Amino acid sequence: MSRLFITQRELDLIADIAKEYTKDVLGNKIYLYPISELKTLTHDIYNEATLKVYDNPIAIDAVVDAEYQQDTKIDKFGVDSQYKIEVFIQYRDLVDKGITISLGDFFSFSDIFYEVTTHNILKNIYGLPEHKGGVKLVGTKARFGQFDAPVVGPTDYKHTDPDAVQNKFVQQRGEAFDAEGKPTGDFRELIKNGALDPAMSGPKEVSEKGDKEDVGSSFYDE
């Protein structure tokens, strides 16, 4: 029934709205560390990885559940805090960028590393099997020594690293390159197909740049 009324234009609009919310309004990212099967060595007897080697981290725009789920276990070894977090990623954005996320991969959000323990495809759009709405990841905090990598900010206000607090946010708006000349991999389907013109104003920036009132952000300087 839905194929009679839902055309590619409507599907593109749904994808573009999801991308606009995630990339131009929310601005949250996770950093994915795909495990390299070629570089990772496994134990001859137990067939388990003795040292997991990761590829370069990949920034992925995502909707992250703001509430950390924490379970505390107390045993003979002491107190162990176990964090779990839910992450939602737009499916077509992963396809556009050629990113595959697998169980056992690691990602960071704030200053915590998580292992992907659940990977679910969200419901099909209007029941169409080839058009999926998104991906839901459940990450469980990696055990100490299980995974080790440099932390990418923003992390936490208490830290003194230069990237601990994000002071600049720039929209993507379907532009091929960001302000630093790096490729964004961001495609807005309606613009790519010629159904809509690119935004005349271009990506907007929220930062201290141009802050004449000394309020911390040019967003309020009108």
Q: What is the pTM of this model?
A: 0.84
Residue 219: partners with Cβ closer than 8 Å, 6 or more residues away: 206
Contact between 32 and 58 under an 8 Å Cβ cutoff? The reply is: yes
Rounded-to-integer distance, Cα 24 and Cα 209, Å:
18
Any idea where the domains of the chain sit in the sequence? 2-166
Contact between 31 and 107 under an 8 Å Cβ cutoff? The reply is: yes
Q: What is the mean pLDDT of the chain?
A: 84
Tens digit of pLDDT for each residue in 104-122?
Answer: 899 999 999 999 999 999 9
Rounded-to-integer distance, Cα 137 and Cα 86, Å:
6
DSSP string, 148-206: -----S---TT--STTSS---EE--TT-SB-TTS-B-----HHHHTTSSPPPSS---EE
Residue 220 has what pLDDT?
Answer: 56
Q: Give every residue of the chain whose pLDDT is below 50, as ranges.
A: 38-47
Rounded-to-integer distance, Cα 153 and Cα 31, Å:
9
